[in-house]
Amino acid sequence: MRTLFRSSQSFALSLFFLTGFLPARAADFGFTVVIQAGRANGSSWEVGFGDGSVVPTSGLNSTNYWNDGSPLNFTMGYQHSNNIAYVDLAFPGSPWQGTFSPSGTAPTGLTYWDLPASNFSVEAQWRPGATSITAGNLQLGSGLNVLQGLSTTSLTVSQQKSGPVTATLAAPVLFTSATGDWLLTGAITFVGLGGNGAKDSDLAFQITAEGTEVAEPGAWKLMLGGMLLIAGMFRLRGKR
């Protein structure tokens, strides 16, 4: 019982250090990106941003529109220096970019980012024709301290008179960025567009990102040092 008590003490003190130095999880800064089927004639929208409701971003039309069944490379992320969230779509010969400035106080310096699993998703709504959407080849950019990476590099759903169907990550993506910047690359593929197939939000890919400033960059090292010190103290006491 005394050994168990000592272990409990050690755990409690370690937990104190851990919770004391983790960044506050205030959800006062973040944004959502939606990439959806839209319409080739320009009467709908294909990319939207928001930090409350999603706001459409114009720019795609019959010239720049999804090639049904063919993957299109994309890059999305956040640039702290300009306070912009962005999406780059690599249309051959005519690349496209949409940007959005999130409201709220942007984190400065070391930033803890959370991409919640439930909002990292692809969705297919009911349609009489067969449709599908895939967000594949997903990869975080370099220069990040990844605490919990992508649980999968590809999300896909399909339907034929069976929607809505949704696929999400199994766990959130967690990382810190020394500058606040980050990016995610991948390829998006829409299948079954137009006619009895998909339009507007019938096929959609969504990501939400929440950023929190880490006030004390040295706190992570202090936290680790404190936990190691506590563990050493109780190891010595246990030998007495």
Task: Give residue 224's pLDDT.
Answer: 46
Omega before residue 102 within 30° of 0, cis: no
Is 182 within 8 Å of 144 (Cβ atoms)?
yes
pLDDT value at position 21? 43
Q: State how far the Cα of 119 lies from the Cα of 103, in Å rounded to an integer.
A: 19
Please list the pLDDT of the chain residue by residue as tens digits (240 residues): 333 333 433 433 343 344 444 444 444 799 999 999 999 887 889 999 999 788 888 667 667 889 999 999 999 999 999 999 999 999 988 899 999 999 988 888 899 999 999 999 999 999 999 999 999 999 999 999 999 999 999 999 999 998 899 999 999 999 999 999 999 999 999 999 988 899 999 999 999 999 998 865 455 455 445 545 554 554 555 555
| pLDDT in the model for residue 173 | 98
For 128, phi and psi rounded to 5 degrees? Answer: -70, -25
Residue 18 is which amino acid?
A: L
Please list, in sequence order, all residues whose beta carbon lies within 8 angstroms of the beta carbon of residue 225, skipping any fewer than 6 positions away. Answer: none
pTM: 0.79
* pLDDT given at position 138: 98
Give the whole-angstrom CA distance, residue 181 versus residue 109: 9
Report d(CA 14, CA 20) in Å as an integer: 10
Nearest partner of 86 among 8, 156, 185, 173, judged by Cα: 185
- 21 vs 223: CA distance, rounded Å: 7
How much is the pLDDT for 108? 83
Which pLDDT value is given to residue 206? 97
For 29, which DSSP code? S
Tell which residue, 151, 214, 206, 223, has the closest CA to residue 177: 214
Token digits of residue 69: 């069944």
How many helices (H) and strands (E) the chain has is answered by 2, 15
Residue 56 has a pLDDT of 86
Report the relative pairing of strands 30-38 and 165-168 from DSSP bridges: unpaired
Q: Find, among 177, 172, 118, the residue nearest to 148 by Cα.
A: 172
Which tokens in the block code for residue 60? 């795609």
Domain boundaries, the chain: 1-23+218-240, 25-214
Nearest to 84 by CA among 119, 55, 49, 115: 49
C-alpha to C-alpha distance for 29 and 5, rounded to whole angstroms? 41
Backbone phi, psi, residue 72, to 5°:
-125, 125
